[in-house]
Amino acid sequence: MIKDLPPNIVKDIAIAVALEGENAESKVWYVYLINLKNQPIENVLITSKGYGEKEGKLVKTSILRHSIPLVEPNSYKLIEPIDEQTFGLNNEYWLSYYIGRDIFDKKFIFLPESIVDNNFIKLPVINKPGVMIL
């Protein structure tokens, strides 16, 4: 039963959208998983999708699935590139991982127009500008 499961709370794990570079025509963006823990996480599964309204029409992107066998302590892994055209949508990342035999999961949602210069920080571990959800 669900009530018998322990409340495994996700802490010290972040999803970040980082600005990788830019030229006169466009900017290059990547999404990362950041492990700020002092222990590794294993068997990481991430689904990503975009959804919302654009120009008065409901829009959904494809659901992408990613698997990462291991993320070392205080390190990061690339999840996927992201197109600026999706920044006007909700960009959802659903993360599941194991620490030992315990499973953890959390949904991270970048709201429309949240990936903007005003929200930029220097991302920990990655040391690039971007937006992070912890």
Query: Which carries the bigger pLDDT value, residue 104 or residue 6?
Result: 104
pLDDT per residue as tens digits for the range 44-92? 999 999 999 988 899 999 999 999 999 999 999 999 999 998 999 999 9
The whole-chain average pLDDT of the chain stands at 93
The answer to whether 68 and 44 are in contact (CB under 8 A) is yes
- Residue 120 banded pLDDT, cuts 50, 70, 90: very high
Beta strands in the chain (DSSP E): 13-22, 27-35, 41-54, 57-60, 64-71, 75-82, 90-99, 102-110, 121-122, 129-133
Per cent of the chain over pLDDT 70 is 96
- pLDDT greater than 70 at residue 38: yes
- Name the residue ranges covered by the structural domains of the chain: 2-126
30-51 mean pLDDT: 97
pLDDT of residue 3: 65
Fold of 2-126: Immunoglobulin-like (2.60.40)
* pTM for the model: 0.91
pLDDT of residue 113: 86
Structure tokens of 21?
């570079």
